[in-house]
A and B are shown apart, each in its own frame.
Chain A
Amino acid sequence: MKLPDNWRELYFTLFPDVVLVKGERDAAAYDFNRAELVPIPPVLCDLVEELEVHTCGELAGSLPPDQSPLVGKYLSYLLEKDFGTFREEIIAFKPLDRDWDQSNELLSAQLELNASSDYNVAAVLDQITDLNCFQLELRLGEKWANPEAVEGLLELVRGSTLRAVDLYLTDGSAWTPERGDDLFARHPKLLHFMAYAAPTAYEKTFHPGTLKMVVHPLPKGEERRNHYKGRYIVNYQYFTEALRFNPLLNRRVSVSSFGYWKNDLMYEETFGHVTERKLTEVLASPEFTRLWKVNADRIVDLKDSARRYAVWPAEPLTALQDGSGCYTFFTPSL
């Protein structure tokens, strides 16, 4: 798109649905309208800031003669990316509010069930759904991955406030594509079904939801974590949550196969057994919610990156012992 003839007399307004974020050495444009993360030169952030109070011509005129032509080039780039528009008025739109909120006291829950699990699953699920939880992840191992057990678990959450159930089966040997299709047809809350070590590979997309069966076994931890490398989440709700919270751990609870409350299954720290401590009590404890507020600016591995508010922080955090209140993904035992 061509610059307007009178661009020097106009203000350039960055669209509020585009947010520029600076890192230590990089910068990125979060394009929420297109759900894209676009690397940009850091100088562009300064330029856009100046354009909030100066016309394009005023800014170009204030620069040394050798840098002045760059303003037109950068503006062409911003217009071409559809990051903003030229306006006669200095303030055309309002910035997006940075508030984040959700109606749920609990956003997500994660349960691991295998041969070691002898706690009352129904009672735990009742506590989770009583808090209006929207998303449930079930990791099912031995004794729990067969069709009858899965059916029983899904029946337990029928009619609850849950909107989505994700199933991960370590042993998919008893599952056929027909059985998977049938499960999706009868349980509209089912969003993801992933079975490892299945007899045949199969994949089908529903609306919404994905059914996938693979013949290989569940990958090991390191390989699983690589899944998230180079992938970014660019939407405004995620961004505003990431500004203040850790989007993985915020309002999340997990229950280990032995029945212990955790922040997430990948953590070793536990917060009591489900038979001894109510979920409401766990959520009210500052020790449990401590990690919820560890946002990207407090994680040394992320804080210098311009992409920090688009990263899914799916690695266990370790507190630094330097009094800074910061954390790292590095786990000495790995």
Chain B
Amino acid sequence: MILVLTYRKYEQGTDPVIDWLIRYDAPFVRLDLLSLLEGRNRLHFEDDGRIIIDGYDLQDQIKVVFYRRFLRSLPLDNCQELPHHLPQLRSDLNREAADVFREIFRRLSHAHWLPDFEASERADNKLHMTKLARAAGLRVPSTLVCNRKDTLLDFYRKKPGGLICKPINFCGYYFRDGFAFTAYTKMVDEDFLKATPDRFFPTLFQEVVERDFELRIFYLDGKFFPTAIYSNDYGENLADVKLIAEEDTTHNLPFALPEELKERLDAFMKSAGLTTGSIDVLKDMDGRHQFIEVNPVGQYLAPGRKCNYFIEKKIAEWLIQKNREASGLRSLSPQNLTVTSPSITAT
């Protein structure tokens, strides 16, 4: 049985995979956090260590886990009568929920995970990933984390090509007046430096890489699906290619990675414990490939569709293959792809 952990509503990286699981008649169960917290799905822990969800014994029946953006902060919409206690209540309940689900994940350690939960949490830390990437022989732009302006100025002077600044972990969305705000990668210029105080929150700075083009590479257990994000005109001082993603002069093009780069990326992903992820690489003007970051649950659908890669189908086939192997069934082939077992979806 394949367990799909995701959001309750449509999730662009999950639903297309589920469509293929249905097509192949693969046995799967889909769970989301809110449905479990609200009791829509029956959950209980047994004294003998078993966890039962809607009658499914997780340790016994679940062989594969497809993990997509499951854990999230609780909305607590029904706690409006205690507004002054809300932050503390939210913090307490989030910790309670996290302990429940981390224990569930721990007891599912026998299963094949796509991606591994703990590895994907570690991968959120760009500093750690940068270290692993360098160890795997990948070129990484010179990076500095500091909290003092004089340290930043010193680094700035040593990098005549300029610096960018970006979150170490992740920047979510801030909603106001019908708009969503977030932090993109930003160019460090004289105005930025003037506005920077002498002491500040530890912040990541990186030397600017003059891009030939950027690569968004979807990785699935040793296979690569690279998309070159290319423009004839990037404009001046473009720090983040996401800013021009929707422009009609930005092309998403299939690309063949050099073998040496594939070997290094594969070694990096294995050292990070990641079976899947979206890897960002810059090809610089000297033809070198520079590792930027990896997102284990990155969005693959748009670049995958633009390059006609059928990534969602390949993910489904991987899940089915691993489930068959773990269940002692024959390997996947077009002749024995279809399996007949009941599937349920909790949403």
Per-residue interface assignment for chain A, residues 15 to 45, with 1 indicating a CB less than 8 Å from any chain B CB and 0 otherwise: 1110000000000000001100000000000
| A148 proximal to B (CB < 8 A) | no
**Is there contact, CB below 8 Å, between B16 and A103?**
yes
Q: Which residue of A lies closest to B228 (CB)?
A: A93
| A270 proximal to B (CB < 8 A) | no
Could you pull out 30 A-B pairs where Cβ atoms are within 8 angstroms? A1-B232, A1-B233, A15-B251, A15-B253, A16-B253, A16-B254, A17-B251, A17-B252, A17-B253, A17-B306, A82-B248, A93-B228, A93-B230, A93-B254, A94-B253, A94-B254, A96-B307, A96-B308, A97-B254, A97-B307, A101-B310, A101-B313, A103-B22, A103-B312, A104-B23, A105-B23, A161-B19, A161-B22, A236-B305, A236-B306
* Known A1-B233, A85-B230, A132-B23; contact A93-B253, beta-carbon cutoff 8 A: yes
Q: Which residues of B contact A33 (CB under 8 A)?
A: 248, 250-252
Q: Number of residues in B with C-beta < 8 Å to the partner?
A: 26
Bound: A160/B194 CA distance, A: 58
Per-residue interface assignment for chain B, residues 255 to 266, with 1 indicating a CB less than 8 Å from any chain A CB and 0 otherwise: 110000000000
**Is there contact, CB below 8 Å, between B253 and A103?**
no
Bound: A88/B345 CA distance, A: 52
| B20 proximal to A (CB < 8 A) | yes
**Is there contact, CB below 8 Å, between B308 and A103?**
no
* Known A33-B248, A132-B19, A161-B22; contact A95-B254, beta-carbon cutoff 8 A: yes
Query: How far apart are A42's CB and chain B's nearest CB, in angstroms?
Result: 24
Q: Which residue of A lies closest to B16 (CB)?
A: A103
| B249 proximal to A (CB < 8 A) | yes
Q: At the interface, is chain B mostly helix, strand, loop or mixed?
A: mixed
**Is there contact, CB below 8 Å, between B308 and A132?**
no
Bound: A15/B250 CA distance, A: 11
Bound: A64/B253 CA distance, A: 35
Bound: A91/B253 CA distance, A: 13
**Is there contact, CB below 8 Å, between B19 and A82?**
no
| A99 proximal to B (CB < 8 A) | yes
Beyond A96-B307, A97-B308, 15 additional contacts (C-beta under 8 Å) are A15-B253, A33-B248, A33-B250, A33-B251, A82-B249, A93-B230, A93-B254, A93-B255, A94-B253, A94-B254, A94-B255, A97-B307, A104-B23, A161-B19, A161-B22
Q: Which residues of B contact A95 (CB under 8 A)?
A: 254
Q: Which residues of A contact B256 (CB under 8 A)?
A: 91, 94
Bound: A95/B256 CA distance, A: 10
Binding site for B on A (CB under 8 A): 1, 15-17, 33-34, 79, 82, 85, 91, 93-99, 101, 103-105, 132, 161, 236-237, 240
Binding site for A on B (CB under 8 A): 16, 19-20, 22-23, 228, 230, 232-233, 248-256, 305-310, 312-313
Bound: A97/B308 CA distance, A: 6
Q: Which residues of B contact A103 (CB under 8 A)?
A: 16, 19-20, 22-23, 312-313
Q: Which residues of B contact A15 (CB under 8 A)?
A: 230, 251, 253
**Is there contact, CB below 8 Å, between A132 and B232?**
no
Query: How far apart are B262's CB and chain A's nearest CB, in angstroms?
Result: 14
Q: Which residues of B contact A34 (CB under 8 A)?
A: 248
Q: Which residues of B contact A105 (CB under 8 A)?
A: 23
**Max count, chain B CB within 10 A of own CB: residue among A79, A236, A240:** A236
Query: How far apart are B338's CB and chain A's nearest CB, in angstroms?
Result: 12
Query: How far apart are B217's CB and chain A's nearest CB, in angstroms?
Result: 13
Q: Which residues of B contact A94 (CB under 8 A)?
A: 253-256
Q: Which residues of A contact B228 (CB under 8 A)?
A: 93
Bound: A97/B254 CA distance, A: 9
**Is there contact, CB below 8 Å, between A240 and B253?**
no
**Is there contact, CB below 8 Å, between B252 and A132?**
no
Q: Which residues of A contact B233 (CB under 8 A)?
A: 1
Query: How far apart are A283's CB and chain B's nearest CB, in angstroms?
Result: 14
Q: Which residues of A contact B230 (CB under 8 A)?
A: 15, 85, 93
